[in-house]
Structure 1
Amino acid sequence: MPVFQYKARNSAGALISGAVDAATLDAAAGELLEQGMTPIDIKAGRSGRGRIATPQESARPRPAVRKGAGTKPPESGLQQLNDALMRKKIDITELIIFSRQMQSLTKAGLPLDRALTGLRGSMKNPRLKQLIGEVLADLESGQSLSTALGHHPKVFSPLFLSLVDVGENTGRLDLAFEQISRYLELEKSTRKQVKSATRYPIFVISTMAVALGIITYFVIPAFSQTFARLGAELPLETRILIGISDFVVNWWQFLLGGTVAAVVGFKTWVRSRRGKLIWDHQKLKIPLAGPVFNRIALARFSRTFAMILKAGVPIVHGMGVVAGAVGNKFIAGRILRMRDGISRGESLYNTAVTADMFSPLILQMIAVGEESGTIDQLLEEVADFYDAEVEYDLKRLGEVIEPILIMFIAGMVLVLALGVFLPIWDLSSAVNN
């Protein structure tokens, strides 16, 4: 008969581990329940005769293992380096897969420990596999799933944790993970659209920066030496280019160091609380791109708020979660002011008007939804409206940026042509005459 290793808690709450003979996993769980123990984890063990361990046997110290006998050998330096390289960041795609699988497993009625154990074995990312193992350990210690996931704030957002908490309290974790997966898929689609719209401009600007560096450091000094040997009077454009080239050649170390220091300083400033607030506010004022950032944040607000209301989260608490999900500190501050107004007894419509970040059409939909009690449905329609606007704006952004880049490249080529080739043409004319 198969043997199943188990972990369970007795009536006193003590953790017990041992083995039990049973035909199936369900039969093993039933036998444990008959003995007055609550199963936590049951898995197939080694073949052989097994029985349920008593609490005294479970608490009995195990014999010491001799050094080198049955222990895992120390990893080599190459293996440690390989493990370090494999610890890649947990991206949004893996979170989507995790949410979908959790939805399917919880909908099938599988216990959380068995669901997470199965998921851990199927994950390819070592970091995510380790994280699930830590969540399992927290569950075995008696913590809830939302609390266990909350120990990893860099991976799971406040919205993710709030929906899981609501799913646990209502007994519908499957619906919670379904909402989470839908939200993450929309978030992934938005990020993909932004990257698609900015990929071409970034590539062109980077290429032109490299070309300018090569021309300034290598090409112009060669022409400068030629012009100096001829002793001819050079046009103003050529003298400016030669002056810039000489400055770059002589002081490139300081220019490179200053650029690196400026980038590091800017990133450090943006990570600070005040810097992040100022930068997020200024991003909304950038020509062409500012309105896109604004609509992306408002689309996240509308969709997240609709999910929070559908899940049954209290509106005051939900507004705090929504503020952390919009991805913009400036807009988050206005949402928190809306929350303060609602906590004082003001209506959602009045606080939205005071926030001064919604169009009249959106404000009208909020008012209708608040009066009819269908605010969650109308907010989803608002989110769909903003998503469509973002998609249109991103397509239009690429169409607008392309001619601007072409004009920039044409201007740069004109300056280089006037500065480098104009003296050559003058010298050629002088020789012919």
Structure 2
Amino acid sequence: MDQSNGVKKLSTSELSIFCYQFSVVLKAGLPYIEALHLLSGDVFEGRMKHLAHQIYLDAEQGMPLSEAIAVRGIFPEYMVAMLRIAENTGRLPEVFEQLSKHYEQNEIVKQKVKNALVYPVVLIALMAAVILLLVLKVLPIFHEILLSVGGEIPTATQFVLDFSEGLQNGLIIIIGLVALVAIYLVLLFKTRLLLAQRDRLLIKAPIASKLYKQAIVVKFSSALSILTKSGMPIQSSLDMILPLMENAYVEEKLKMAISAIEAGKPLATALEETELFPKLFIRMITLGDKTGELDQMLDKISSIYDAELSRGLHRMTVSIEPTLVIILSLVVGAILLLVMLPLINIMSSIG
């Protein structure tokens, strides 16, 4: 029975710490019930301490560890399934260590993506604020000055001034449109109402899709490596990986791959047909499958694409900053020149 009762689920960093501490005490040779008692008494603090104590009480009454963890309702299904496999194969310490690395890697990928997106968004917002300040506050002042001194206003300058006046008159409409866009983005990325649209957008978006697909490769290969090391069949492993992808479009593609494998196609061919994975990934999977070292090859793939993802995110952030600064400088410079030059000409003619 799920005992979550609306309790917030554990973050990937908390999951990594939980699994790591478990792996340490289990590798020391302690039975898992004694390990839980130790963790709940001296190692964990706060929420994690209470959680470990509740799991300990259930395990002490004879409940399997995976079940005691599952009934909390705040652990991922993937982790629970992996622990069930570990209990059946007697590999709890190794699987806890693998899960710790897996969630640590997931947290790193999430932070990399988040950090790569925050700075450009802030810079774009500042750029928009500067341009709006010029158009709505500064340009009207120059317009009044030009009208007071007289003289002919060039067409380009008149267009900018008319645009400024139009923005002022339609400010409420513009604010409404911005609010609608903001609501749409919140619905798109923070709720499940537009889930299918969001998931397809992340895969198809011109700039973000390459990095997003690399993140998928990292998650997919690291998860499949853990499962293959645990002796899981490929079809069952792929079934368990589906929720980990956190993308309905990717899940549908992987379900097609599972059907293809069940129909007799090799793993590499089935994954290639999804069009989600790069050619290098497919070649390495083919080689690992043929040599019987698929789990080691998956670890290598995860390392390669994790490094590539880091480089890609770094290149994107490094290139976005000067690009946005140049755009801002050109826009502000153009606006000021279009207004200042006629004013200078008028003043020169008066002089």
TM-score range, shorter chain: 0.7 to 0.9
Residue from 268, 273, 288 that aligns with 1:354: 273
Give the TM-score of the pair, scaled to structure 1.
0.69
Q: Does 1:216 align with 2:131?
A: no
Equivalence for 2:20: 100
Equivalence for 1:149: 69
Equivalence for 1:313: 232
Q: Does 1:260 align with 2:213?
A: no
Residue from 278, 297, 300 that aligns with 1:378: 297
**Amino acid paired to 2:22:** M
Aligned-partner Cα distance in 1 for 2:158–2:33: 74
Structure 1 unaligned residues grouped into runs of 5+? 1-86
Correspondences of 1:166-177 after superposition (within 5 Å):
166-177=85-96
Return closer, same or farther for 1:266/1:402 CA change in 2, 3 Å cut-off.
Answer: closer
Q: Does 1:184 align with 2:103?
A: yes
**Amino acid paired to 2:276:** M
Structure (1 or 2) with the greater helix fraction: 2
8 Å CA contact 1:297–1:328 kept in 2: the answer is: no
8 Å CA contact 1:150–1:156 kept in 2: the answer is: yes
- Alignment partner of 1:284: what SS? helix
**Amino acid paired to 1:146:** S
8 Å CA contact 1:298–1:326 kept in 2: the answer is: no
Deviates more, 1:380-389 or 1:213-222: 213-222
Aligned-partner Cα distance in 2 for 1:378–1:431: 79
Return closer, same or farther for 1:93/1:356 CA change in 2, 3 Å cut-off.
Answer: closer
Aligned-partner Cα distance in 2 for 1:357–1:245: 46
Structure 2 unaligned residues grouped into runs of 5+? 1-6
Equivalence for 2:77: 158
**Amino acid paired to 2:347:** S
Return closer, same or farther for 1:313/1:221 CA change in 2, 3 Å cut-off.
Answer: same
1:303, distance to aligned residue in structure 2 (A): 1.5
Structure (1 or 2) with the greater strand fraction: 1
Aligned-partner Cα distance in 2 for 1:140–1:259: 56
Correspondences of 1:328-407 after superposition (within 5 Å):
328-407=247-326
Residue from 200, 208, 221 that aligns with 1:281: 200
Equivalence for 1:18: none
- Alignment partner of 1:422: what SS? helix
- Alignment partner of 2:273: what SS? helix
Give the count of matched residue pairs.
344
Residue from 341, 344, 347 that aligns with 1:425: 344
1:380, distance to aligned residue in structure 2 (A): 1.6
Deviates more, 1:230-239 or 1:258-267: 230-239
Larger Rg: 1
8 Å CA contact 1:334–1:355 kept in 2: the answer is: yes
1:117, distance to aligned residue in structure 2 (A): 5.3
8 Å CA contact 2:59–2:68 kept in 1: the answer is: yes
Cα deviation, 1:343-383, whole Å, max 9, x if unaligned, reads 33332133123223334433233223223322111222222
Equivalence for 2:3: none
- RCO greater where, 1 or 2, for CA within 8 Å and sep 6 or more? 2
Aligned-partner Cα distance in 2 for 1:130–1:238: 68
8 Å CA contact 1:216–1:245 kept in 2: the answer is: yes
1:305, distance to aligned residue in structure 2 (A): 0.8
Aligned-partner Cα distance in 1 for 2:189–2:117: 21
Equivalence for 2:122: 203
Return closer, same or farther for 1:144/1:429 CA change in 2, 3 Å cut-off.
Answer: farther
CA RMSD of aligned residues (A): 3.1
**Amino acid paired to 1:345:** G
